[in-house]
Amino acid sequence: MFTGKRGHEYGYDDSSDPDGTFRYFGAGQRGDMRMIGGNLAVQNHSIDGKELHLFEDVGKGFVRYVGPMVCAGSETQAGVADIEGNRRKVIVFRLVPASDVTDDIEFEKPADPDGTFVSGSWYWDAPLGDLRRAALSLPPNNAPPGIAKRNLYHRSETVKVYVQRRANGICEGCGSPAPFVNKAGHPYLEPHHTRRLSDGGPDDPRWVVAICPTCHRRAHYSRDSVEYNASLMKTASDLED
């Protein structure tokens, strides 16, 4: 849970980049900022299974909830004054609203916003261990402006394909074979995010399962959806642990 003032050098500015990312200035009011404490928690929130929420300080002791976020990397910016006026290096996180990437895990996405990224063969052809390492990796730091969202989409695609390959054609919910083979020749299973990004859940394979369409609908719409989803959450955790 993080609070910042829009446009303030110790807060965030959501209009600084054309891709709509939030630039959140890290913690530390004196001297160079370091990747420790709260700053480290922001960077590692996905791999730590932690939710990331942003609030705006609107003054007079009030805050406005901005929404759940996903960290898409950070950069170091020099020459920013601290509270004593001394110039120092600061950490600037690039945060993407979780609503922008919620459906990337669970639904097909033919291309990223600039139209250049299409799910390619690398995701399906790379050694499973390499794909898993990519799915568990931290977002890259010091990426050029405008690339943060694309990096996030790449990570989401990696997670999505990794869990399908991990399942190896067997539903991780009911244990039945995939109901059919899709046009690309892969067993058809649907990735399910046990902690939806729209609820602040982390984009990480330890929270995602590959299940058949029936189990997927059960996880979302059945009378026992809460209990069933909890069992899927444990399944994903057990598989990765």
Beta 190-193 vs 53-59: how paired, if at all? Answer: unpaired
Q: What pLDDT does 229 receive? A: 94
Across 123-132, average pLDDT: 92
If one compares 137 and 185, the residue with the highest pLDDT of the two is 185
Q: What is the pLDDT of residue 70?
A: 83
| Domain 2-97: CATH architecture, name and number where available | Roll (2.30)
Higher pLDDT, 29 or 202: 29
Domain spans of the chain, in order of start: 2-97, 99-240
Q: Which residue has the tokens 């190896």?
A: 168
53-86 tens-digit pLDDT: 888 888 888 888 888 888 888 888 888 888 888 8
pLDDT score for 111: 39
pLDDT score at 113: 42
% pLDDT > 70, the chain: 77
DSSP E strand stretches across the chain: 2-4, 12-13, 22-25, 53-59, 62-81, 87-97, 190-193, 208-211
Of 143, 145, 172, 148, nearest to 235 (Cα)? 172
* Confidence grade of residue 20 (pLDDT, cut at 50, 70, 90): low
81-109: average pLDDT: 76
Bridge partners of 22, per DSSP, are 95
Determine the pLDDT at residue 121.
78
pLDDT, residue 17, reads 60
- Angle CA(51)–CA(107)–CA(208) in degrees, nearest 5? 45
pLDDT at 53: 87
CB 145, CB 17: distance < 8 Å = yes
Provide the phi-psi class of 28: left if phi over 0, else alpha when psi is between -120 and 50, else beta: left
Give the length of the chain. Answer: 241
Residue pLDDT, tens place only, 160-184: 899 999 999 999 999 999 999 998 8
Among the listed residues 223, 201, 222, 200, the one whose alpha carbon sits nearest the alpha carbon of residue 211: 222
Q: Which residue has the higher pLDDT, 224 or 67?
A: 224
| Angstrom distance (rounded) from CA 74 to CA 57 | 22
**Does pTM top 0.95 for this prediction?**
no
